[in-house]
Amino acid sequence: MLKRRSLMIVAVVLALSTQVKAQEKQKSAGHVPTPSEFLGFEVGADRKLADYKQISSYFKALAASSPRVEIQVLGKTTLGEDMFMAVISTPENLANKAKYKDIAHKLADPRGLSSQQIDALARDGKTIFLLTCNIHSTEIGSSQMSMEWAYNLATSQEPEILRRLNDSIVLLIPSLNPDGETMVTDWYRKYLGTKYEGGDMPYLYHHYVGHDDNRDWFMLTQIETKNVNRMVYHEWFPQFWLDEHQMGENGPRIYIPPNADPVAKLVNPLVHRGNNLMGAAMGWRLEEAGKSGVIFGYSFDAYWPGGTRNTGWWKNMYGVLTEVASARIATPITVESTELQGGGKGLTTYEQQINFPNPWPGGTWRLRDIMDYELLVSGAALETVSKYRQELLRGVATMATQAVQTADPQVCWRIPIEDQRDPVTAARLVALLLEHGVEVRINSDAKIYLVPTAQPYGRFVDEMMGVQRYPEVRPAANSGILEPYDVAAWSLPLMMGVKAERLSIRPDQLNSARILKEAQWPEGGLTNANGRYFTIADHQNNVFALANAMQAAGGQVFLSQKPNETPEFIFAAHAQLAGNAEKFHLQLQPRSDLPQGATPLKQPRVGLYKPYIASHDEGWTRFLLEQYGFKLKNIENKGVKAGNLNSSYEVIILPDTTKEVIMDGKEGRGGFFEEFPPEYAGGIGKDGLHALRDFIDKGGTLITLANASDVIYGEEFNLPVRNALASPGASAGRAATTTSDFNIPGSLLRVYLDTNHPVAAGMPHEIAAFVDSPIAFQTSQPPPDMQRSVIAWYPDDAKDILVSGYAHGAERLQRKAAAVSFTSGKGKIVMFGFRVQHRAQTEGTFQLLFNAIFWGGM
């Protein structure tokens, strides 16, 4: 019986392989080059790297010579490079792409299909398998590996490989951040053979967001994220997503699924079952090939939705992460056995455990090792998705059906269109849901958006729209809880300051609401073009964009600010006003004159400090301020130290980073730090600090974001403020407070605002502020020539503090200030303890930063 069956399989595979070969003859008889042949060096060898242009040219050559490979351009990158994906399968499957995309789409949204129809689709469909590489640019191995793996799939005549290709369509993205791949290879080559070989770059490896490009997958702010999101949720609907990364060098050699705890409540457990199946296959194939150091249930949790494949879990997609130990880019390293360490979840000490049955003993580790591990897991992944093709395809449909059936068909998220403080941001939230492939309806009188929870992506909707309560998982009865991997809150309406509620809607109301096909923006323009001045009552984020655009165009902008009233921006008539108002979706009313006391605004010149130990917050702040049209320049250590800052800037911003980074250009890593090339060494030092003080004395405005406030507690500024969460004697906030007595890893907290302060003007009295650092300002009496203001403060009662996420030790924030300002003469200092523009996600508090900048220009 067994023998007969296996003979049959052989016969099928042989027939298949003849069929594939026959089709292949039609396209090309050309020789398919190996990556090493084509590029003229040994790919994967020590100290050799292919850059993005080389990788791209190799894939083009592969597509030209192999009928199993096609190239799809996903869009442009931030710096204008073509971002591409290889589509790899049998020629027959490639010829029928449209059919297989359609099947995948139907399985992702199987509403209206019978179970027989779903079974038939699962039988006829192919697994769409997405493999993404190198989102983190220094994790370079997978970008190099992708060429070898693609070559193997394009040329192999092994029946098993042909069977896998017949069952699947592989979508292979060699780099999710092409610009960063180029930066890292350039930097690596530049310092090859010097003492800086393989060291860190002194800037972010994405023009704006660096490593945080893998924190953007629910907010979709960056062009690369948008490109891939569109392909995944609007075109190909892959059932399985594998994302290959690298981790530190002193622990396990590779992490494979299952994930570590905790687990997100709303993700269908079938996702984890599929992921674990793939993890088992990966572990099996690695061990079989003699690879040691394989671990699962380690470090990477199943809770956070911000990274590539994770976001898909809530949309019924299987998705796994692998992390291979790093070398020094392409330079080999040696790890002493005494240097091997556990740490973090799942491996407290570096010992044999059931999730780590075969520890790596230490030794040499090189790029080639990384790529070999990655080739094995890529192969095991394709093996799994083809072997379990029908189950996986049916699984996606099962999960989508369950998402619909287990939800109350009347329960919706209701987002009013007009009754919003910031209608454009409300529209942006809806546009974001549409980008995610979520079904949004608009009611018959076009006043309300309804987002049904009973839809295939309904659990994603609840996750993103609702509040988070972090699960307190304890590995042992008397131990502390497992810490979150990243942040603990992502409630979009709260973060964006948009009114939305979850409620039951009458079936007739829901049925009469039509499905929204594309995002709808409030109509902008001038209600009447005949006016000397124009105004808008709302204090929306985009009003600042309009004010900046008009000032850049030479227009006049005024601000009228009266106690207990919403401040009013007033725009003088200008040829570009109507066009800009339309562009920013703002409707302006004419008014005949200026209100008494209206101040003319001068667009401030903003200097954004950029440290050489790259700061993500610097990148995000730059991204955000550019989006809103602020007049912005980076200022580096040399520029700060040179002084005379008032001649170039009205406002200087210190982004969220540590005092050591700003002052000395060092990261507090247990004493040892790697040196940068001399031109990037050091920080602003005492001279820079003195120059900042001088800048304020001469009327400048300094804004510090979160931990950057540490640099101004000392003698130089001598301000009546301290961080109440820093232990006595320590100046650094972050270092002084341990997570055992205080831990708020990125949560939304209730904060009250003094809306009569220029920085909080036009804001609501109560906001949800994003907090991820132990900072609570305690001010005291200033000298007579100084004013201090508490702009924002935490509630009196600790139980009122947490809004979404996780907060341990919140009582230490009670009645403490969350944002303060100091003025002396014309000089101003504004200190924000929370993250006003965290990862460009917290739209509800952007205005605090915008106001502070404008205040600096007054």
Q: In the complex, which residues of this chain contact Zn ion (CB under 5 A)?
A: 136, 139, 245
Pick between residue 306 and residue 844 the one whose CB is nearest to Zn ion: 306
- Angle among Cα 542, 548, 553 to the nearest 5 degrees reads 125
Rounded least distance, CB 233 to Zn ion, Å: 22
Classify burial at 582, counting beta carbons within 10 Å of its beta carbon; exposed 0-12, middle 13-18, buried 19 or more.
middle
Pick between residue 213 and residue 422 the one whose CB is nearest to Zn ion: 213
Which residues are CB-neighbours of 621 under 8 A, at least 6 positions away? 608, 653, 655, 705, 837, 849
Pick between residue 245 and residue 808 the one whose CB is nearest to Zn ion: 245
Rounded least distance, CB 202 to Zn ion, Å: 20
Dmax (CA) for the chain in angstroms is: 96
Strands 254-255 and 827-832: unpaired
Q: How far apart are CA 605 and CA 632, in angstroms?
A: 6
Rounded least distance, CB 139 to Zn ion, Å: 5
CA-closest candidate to residue 636, choices 591, 600, 688: 688
Pick between residue 206 and residue 245 the one whose CB is nearest to Zn ion: 245
Rounded least distance, CB 130 to Zn ion, Å: 17
SS3 546: helix
The residue type found at 768 is A
Pick between residue 139 and residue 772 the one whose CB is nearest to Zn ion: 139
Q: How far apart are CA 107 and CA 126, in angstroms?
A: 11
Q: How far apart are CA 335 and CA 338, in angstroms?
A: 8
Note the helical H segments in 84-216.
91-95, 97-108, 115-124, 141-155, 159-167, 178-190
Rounded least distance, CB 245 to Zn ion, Å: 3
Rounded least distance, CB 280 to Zn ion, Å: 23
* Cβ burial 26-52 (10 Å sphere, 16+ → b, else e): eeeeeebbbbbebbeeebbeebbbbbb
Phi/psi for 85 (5° steps) reads -135, 140
The token pair at 257 is 């699924």
Rounded least distance, CB 199 to Zn ion, Å: 18
The token pair at 470 is 């972090």
Pick between residue 321 and residue 645 the one whose CB is nearest to Zn ion: 321
| Ordered DSSP codes for 202-236 | SS-SSTTTGGGGGS-TTT--SHHHHHHHHHIIIII
Rounded least distance, CB 127 to Zn ion, Å: 25
Rounded least distance, CB 213 to Zn ion, Å: 10
SS3 624: helix
Pick between residue 139 and residue 660 the one whose CB is nearest to Zn ion: 139
Rounded least distance, CB 321 to Zn ion, Å: 8
Pick between residue 52 and residue 237 the one whose CB is nearest to Zn ion: 52
Pick between residue 486 and residue 660 the one whose CB is nearest to Zn ion: 486
Q: How far apart are CA 646 and CA 575, in angstroms?
A: 32
Rounded least distance, CB 253 to Zn ion, Å: 15
The token pair at 8 is 């049959």
Q: How far apart are CA 307 and CA 326, in angstroms?
A: 20
Pick between residue 237 and residue 300 the one whose CB is nearest to Zn ion: 300
Pick between residue 139 and residue 568 the one whose CB is nearest to Zn ion: 139
Contact of 202 with 614, CB cutoff 8 Å = yes
Which residues are CB-neighbours of 315 under 8 A, at least 6 positions away? 108, 233, 436, 437, 456, 457, 460
Pick between residue 302 and residue 645 the one whose CB is nearest to Zn ion: 302
Pick between residue 163 and residue 245 the one whose CB is nearest to Zn ion: 245
Contact of 247 with 325, CB cutoff 8 Å = yes
Rounded least distance, CB 225 to Zn ion, Å: 15
Rounded least distance, CB 497 to Zn ion, Å: 31
Rounded least distance, CB 325 to Zn ion, Å: 12
Pick between residue 330 and residue 653 the one whose CB is nearest to Zn ion: 330
Contact of 439 with 857, CB cutoff 8 Å = no
The token pair at 251 is 């622990």
Classify burial at 419, counting beta carbons within 10 Å of its beta carbon; exposed 0-12, middle 13-18, buried 19 or more.
exposed
Rounded least distance, CB 116 to Zn ion, Å: 43
CA-closest candidate to residue 690, choices 634, 641, 621: 641
Pick between residue 139 and residue 167 the one whose CB is nearest to Zn ion: 139
Torsion of CA 380, 267, 458, 125, to 10 degrees: 20
